[in-house]
Amino acid sequence: MKVLGLNHDMYISSAALIVDGEVVAGAAEERFTRQKRTRAFPRRAVQFCLDQAGIGIDAVDAVANAWNPGVYMQKFNPLVSSSRRFKSEYLYSVPDNLLAMFPDNLRDVDHIHQRLALGGSKALDVYFVTHHRVHAANAFLLSPFEEAAIITADSQGEVESTTIAHGEGNRIKVLRTQNHPHSLGAFYATFTEFLGFRPHSDEWKVMALAAFSTPAATKPVEEVLRREVLQIGEDGFFELNLRYFKDFLHELPFLYTPAMTELLGQPRAEDDPLEERHYAIAAAMQNIVEDIAFRLMREAQRLTGADNVCAAGGFFMNSVLNGRILTNTPFKQVYISSSPDDSGNAIGAAAYLYNHILGQPERHHLTHNFLGPDYSDAVIEAEINKSHLSAEKVADPSDTAARLLADGAVIGWFQGRMEFGQRALGNRSILADPRGPDTKAKVNAAVKFREPFRPFAPAILAEYVSDWFDIEPGNTVPFMEKVYPIRREKQAEIPAVVHADGSGRLQTVQAATNPRFHALIDAFRKRTGVPIVLNTSFNLNEEPIVCRPIDAIRTFHSCGLDALVMGSYVLRKPT
């Protein structure tokens, strides 16, 4: 059975294909169009998925969409439904009216099912799945757990902003929900904008800022926020004081009201210098959302009795929070996918349809996210020649790359199938030596052009992780989805990847899932004694991560990278 999943008209449109329960292909549309964060229908991503599987659309059994317009039929208006403006809206008039006639059927509109005739006897089943069910599926149905509590949180689905659910086998049961505007995502986005960044885009910058505050500066701000702007229940469900928030008033600019300015002072403009009060606001807000999330998780454990928890939704891109789950909740294991945000909902929609709606039993734990296009050496060589460039073909790209890094080079690393999600994990990466105290500034100045307060990630051989990080024995972080403290005695050895609070957003690299990247880090270890490299995504600031060889070549020649290792080919710049 083949199910095509779609995430479109939302943050980072994408497509994914599941065949007999296994994710065989997936990619974001932005990688093909080169338009970052595009919400366009993922035409190129869909075509890639079909081509990767060697099928046409007529071989697809069903399509799953990561949004359910059926939810809005609960607010039926007979004056509108009985007099449609356009004949195309007649498509919705019949279900609108029927659901209004039988309101008991509105209690659980978790999906809408349509059937399209493709000609002959072939029909294509199309399902529109409720947004937070999709997040739950992306969390649980791809996890290694047969049973788990599930938490989803973002700014807003159709109406929901937070859910607690219970996953068992191939089924998901929703236990509790909270609706927008009382939303962790909206709360975080409001302060992101107040601090001079783009909401629903730059939240990770605020997360990084929080590390620069002190407890003495943070405490009074946190007390004000807890007293004035929200009320939190023991179970983690909360209410925002809407005197300070207007995220739900889409017609008006800004997510905060003048009352927020009266409470916290003048909002920061984008180019204003960062001050101590900005760090304190970021830290206070981070403390509050962690408190809420951990209360929700403790409530989820009480309701389900599960030992495991799965989390998804854009809110769980917060890797600092993710790294603290096990020490602040009763759970023994946690799973967060490589793409808990909306971009991963192409996979989540397909999984929910395949397992939960259609009842198919097969589930495949997603141990890696290398689901995108790959390119052979022959294709890479042809692209190099077409660009009138010269390159050296090497027998061992991993060893060559390790030598370049040990000599101080900053390199582009382009290998195998492209990653799915917002983080590069060793196939479309920029790499550097973490030992240099000036490496971070060098990478920023030459390639990334990012704010200096934002950290870079350490990619470490999984077998050495407990030697370098304060992490639970046997724990792995395959998707760079959690932050952990770096052991104090090791921090001076890898200053380029140590954040202000002594932490690192690590990625554990295993030979079984990425042998070439693992071999590179191991070769670097043998040369330097350090089983870690600095890893950041292969893109310039505000551009999508590279997808094709030509994207890598253009980026290489548009910035200060010293070398590009692409397949078996090494491109260098003249010295």
Whole-angstrom Cα distance, residue 341 to residue 190? 18
d(CA 436, CA 438): 5
The separation between CA 450 and the C-alpha centre of its own chain, rounded to angstroms, equals 19
166 membership: H or E segment, kind and range: strand 160-168
CATH of domain 2-68+110-131: 3.30.420.40
Report how far residue 116's alpha carbon sits from residue 565's, in angstroms, rounded to the nearest whole number.
46
Task: Tell me the fold of 143-336.
Answer: Nucleotidyltransferase; domain 5 (3.30.420)
**CA distance linking residue 185 with residue 517, whole number of Å:** 34
Tokens of 318: 């917060």
Mean pLDDT of 229-244: 97
Residue 501 confidence (pLDDT) = 96
Q: What tokens does 395 get?
A: 């027998």
Averaged pLDDT for residues 309-332: 97
pLDDT at 358 over 60: yes
DSSP state, residue 357: I
Confidence (pLDDT) at 541: 85
pLDDT, one tens digit per residue, over 271-295 is 999 999 999 999 999 999 999 999 9
- Tell me: pLDDT of 79 over 50: no
* Residue-averaged pLDDT of the chain: 93
pLDDT, tens only, 35-64: 999 999 999 999 999 999 999 988 999 999
Cα gap 173→163, rounded to integer Å? 10
Q: According to DSSP H, which parts of 452-573 are helical?
A: 465-468, 515-528, 549-556
B/e letters for 522-560, b = 16+ CB within 10 Å, e = fewer, are bbbbeebebbbbbbbbbbbeebbbbbbbebbbbbbeebe
pLDDT digits (tens, 9 = 90+) for 533-544: 999 999 998 899
2-68+110-131 and 377-572: identical CATH topology: no
Residue 434 above 60 pLDDT?
yes
Angle of helix 276-304 versus helix 184-194 axis, rounded to 10: 170
Note the pLDDT of residue 141. Answer: 98
Q: Is the pLDDT of residue 87 over 60?
A: no
pLDDT over threshold 80, residue 416? yes
Which band of pLDDT confidence, cut at 50, 70 and 90, is reported for residue 97? low
- Residues 201-221 as b or e (16 or more Cβ within 10 Å = b): ebbbbbbbbbbbbeeebbeeb
Q: Which two tokens stand for residue 225?
A: 């926020």
DSSP code, position 369: -
How far apart are the C-alpha atoms of 455 and 448, rounded to whole Å? 12
CB atoms within 10 A of CB 180: 19
| pLDDT tens-digit map of 129-161 | 999 999 999 999 999 999 999 999 999 999 999
Residue range 456-467, pLDDT digits in tens: 999 999 999 999
Amino acid identity at 42: P
pLDDT-based confidence at residue 247 (cuts at 50, 70, 90): confident
Give the per-residue pLDDT at 252: 77
What is the crossing angle of helices 215-228 and 276-304, to 10°? 60
> What values do phi and psi take at 190, rounded to 5?
-60, -45
Q: State both tokens at 545.
A: 């991560």
CA distances from 222 to 191, 234, 257, 375 (A): 13, 18, 19, 50
- Alpha-helical (H) ranges within 427-488 are 439-443, 465-468
Query: Is pLDDT above 50 for 78?
Result: no
Locate the domains of the chain by residue range. Answer: 2-68+110-131, 143-336, 377-572
Backbone φ, ψ for residue 346 (5° rounding)? -60, -45
pLDDT at 558 over 60: yes
Q: What local confidence, expressed as pLDDT, does residue 120 receive?
A: 63
Strands 238-240 and 230-232 come out as: antiparallel
Q: Is the pLDDT of residue 121 over 80?
A: no
pLDDT band at 116 (very low <50, low <70, confident <90, very high): confident
pLDDT tens for residues 186-209? 999 999 999 999 999 999 999 999
Q: Which CATH class is domain 377-572?
A: alpha beta
The pair of three-digit structure tokens given for residue 531, joined into one six-digit string: 């089983």
pLDDT band at 441; cut points 50, 70, 90: very high
pLDDT at 182 over 60: yes
Q: How confident is the model at residue 113 (pLDDT cuts 50, 70, 90)?
A: confident
Instruction: For the chain, report the end-to-end CA distance as a whole number of angstroms.
Output: 54
